[in-house]
Structure 1
Amino acid sequence: MKKTSLALAGLLLASTLSAKEFISIGTGGMTGTYYPVGGAICRLANKDPQIKCSVQSTGGSIYNVNNVLKKELNFGFVQSDVVYDKYNGVGKFKDMGDKNLRAVVSIYPELLAFVVSKASGIASINDLAGKSINVGNPGSGNEMTALTVFNAYGFDAKKLKHHGVLTAQECPHALKDKKIDGYFYMVGHPTANITDAANSMPIDIVNIKGENIDKMLKEFPYFAKGVIPKGTYEGVSHDVESIGVKAVLVTTKDMSDKAVGAVVKAILDNFDEYKTLHPALGAVTKESLVQGLSAPLHPAAEAEFKKHGIIK
């Protein structure tokens, strides 16, 4: 009898383990915002005994969207402009669109920060000729957005003294070591990356605004205006006007309903806790979770949002 009970217990344990779904989320550099927020989502998802969620530090948006579609990652954090371009096969992904891409949830707004050393004297994009600027690592969302801004201002990147291709994670050290005068970073605020730079040297964050930017927003509707409040970073004593996108969690249309549903349910069922897990999530609302997605919702995500009354 005892042996039978033990055997049954063993079979039950084996079936439970085999039913567990392992999922990976591609994020970004460890000093950015994607990585800790991805970790927060995994902690909530792992409350479900049938889910084992882990995060990976990656090169960011473009790496994530490509590797999700190759099925080397289950989920990935991607800027909404990159999501739009990849789904529709436009911009950097001209003729390389992929209709298998699906949105899961809109995480938080990201604003473009153009961080400069105060010693550089840079006050505007128009001051960049002859300067050393990190535009972004090749193929990153940072690079894509920075070049779009340059184009809006009519600034030719060839006029830079040095066109940097470092990852955002490497930039605070490069700025401190005077290898660059400034760098672009599309990120949720506050972020440890810019805090580290601001705490080690005098910095400023340059406004990105004006008629040229207004025209750009009409051309690219997935961008929106936003403000990084003064005092967010040491030494930045003015409100910074900029443009932003949404950080969107994406997957493929083939991703299991169980995994997608579990991730969305984890956020919605623990929403008050979720908002406390990173400062970038503080202003998020349940309604904002379905705004600025730039690709169709995965059916399991849509079902979960309907169940919670967020989508009618």
Structure 2
Amino acid sequence: MRRFLYKCLAGILLVITPVTVIADEPSFITVGTGDITGVYYPVGGAICRLLNKELDRHGIRCVVESTPGSAYNLKALRRGSLDLAIVQSDWLFHATRGSSIYTAAGADTDLRSLLTLHTEDFTIVVRSDSGIDSLEDLRGKRVNLGDPGSGQRNTMDLVLSELGWSYSDLEDVGELQASEMPLALCSGQIDAFIYYVGHPNTSVGEATTFCDSRLIPLPQTLIKRFSEKYPFYRAGEIKGGLYRGNPSDIDTFQLSAVLVANKKLPNNIASELLRVINENFEEFRNMHPALNALNKRSVFTRVGHFAPVHPAVEQYPEQ
């Protein structure tokens, strides 16, 4: 009888043990970012490093994925292939409303904001001998606009529309990745490139280091028109002295990068992420120069401007 009871107990343990192991395994989350030379990738890495430092406490392992950028990230969130993503606030706005490039797909009502991150500036970099001194001078030039469907390409489409231009007004429209732009500019393959990015940035730094290149300002009339017409754009400037040969501030318009998730992201994961950022905020700010200007008020309280907030944010004291 005793032998029979031992066998039964052993059988029960065999059934229970695998369940216990699974419960102790970490939860994996993936953060979609952008090109490795941009700002999204290192910012996503900063978020993951802070989370992973406390893996033993919360059991969440964070992984960064390099992607083509905002438009891709929003689609990936919709189909469930990313857990979190960093995106431009303009395309987040359109995705939640089913407008602009998301008209056919319809509104994604499952998107939820978590954090407002760094600002991003509409940036035009030209080779100094290209004869380009203003936005109007891009007409008839070889300009890299980036991947079709990318956030910055769609923004440039808006700029062209405001100018009354089409792609035919440019000699050539480039579709190079961000990491390819500096060499293409300095070798004479292109005359200029457009980049919507936080500063300082690796690709812009390389372009101004490898050859004589300049950032050119946008006209105030265009900045004012964009700021008044679109709720996600505002006047801004790229600080002078960040790049070789560019000592002056550059007028432009800017927007915010936002960390977003699908509403199905478990509340405990979202809450731990917010806690980690809050408790290690100074360390987070110093993990990339583009984050240096952040303050808790803007990071936690401006997050619901373009998409509904995740329930974890609503419960958070800073909100």
TM-score, with structure 2 as normaliser: 0.89
User: What CA deviation, in whole Å up to 9, does each residue of 1:133-192 have, x standing for no partner?
Assistant: 011211101101112122223333211000111222221121122111111111111011
Q: Number of residues paired by the alignment?
A: 300
* Residue 193 (str. 1) matches residue 168 (str. 2): no
CA contact (8 A) 1:125 1:150 kept: no
Match of 1:75 in 2: 84
SS at match of 1:251: strand
Match of 2:314 in 1: 302
Distance 1:193 1:256 in 2: 36
1:221 deviates by 1.3
Distance 1:177 1:90 in 2: 39
Distance 2:193 2:131 in 1: 14
Structure showing greater radius of gyration is 2
Letter of the 2:170 partner, please give it: L
CA contact (8 A) 1:152 1:213 kept: no
1:124 deviates by 1.3
TM-score, with structure 1 as normaliser: 0.91
* Residue 93 (str. 1) matches residue 93 (str. 2): no
CA contact (8 A) 1:64 1:78 kept: yes
1:70 deviates by 0.7
SS at match of 1:143: helix
Distance 1:138 1:130 in 2: 20
Q: 2:216 aligns with which of 189, 206, 219?
A: 206
Q: 1:55 aligns with which of 64, 69, 87?
A: 64
1:12 deviates by 10
Distance 2:218 2:73 in 1: 27
Question: What does residue range 120-131 of structure 1 map to in structure 2 within 5 Å?
Answer: 120-131=130-141
1:95 deviates by 3.9
Match of 1:14 in 2: 21
Percent of aligned pairs sharing the same letter: 35
SS at match of 2:315: helix
User: What CA deviation, in whole Å up to 9, does each residue of 1:83-133 have, x standing for no partner?
Assistant: 001111111212422111111111111111111111111111211221000
SS at match of 1:242: strand
Distance 1:156 1:225 in 2: 24
Question: What does residue range 1-312 of structure 1 map to in structure 2 within 5 Å?
Answer: 14=21, 17-18=24-25, 20-49=26-55, 50-96=59-105, 97-289=107-299, 290-291=301-302, 293-304=305-316, 307=317, 310-311=318-319
Distance 2:222 2:61 in 1: 47
1:17 deviates by 2.8
Range with bigger deviation, 65-74 or 292-301: 292-301
Distance 1:92 1:21 in 2: 33
CA contact (8 A) 1:188 1:280 kept: yes
Distance 2:223 2:257 in 1: 21
User: What CA deviation, in whole Å up to 9, does each residue of 1:15-66 have, x standing for no partner?
Assistant: 5533x21100011111111111110100111133211001001101001111
C-alpha RMSD of the superposition: 1.9
CA contact (8 A) 1:27 1:64 kept: yes
Distance 1:209 1:222 in 2: 18
Q: Any unmatched runs of 5+ in structure 2?
A: 1-9
Q: Any unmatched runs of 5+ in structure 1?
A: none
Range with bigger deviation, 46-55 or 72-81: 46-55
CA contact (8 A) 2:223 2:235 kept: no
Distance 2:237 2:149 in 1: 26
SS at match of 1:46: helix
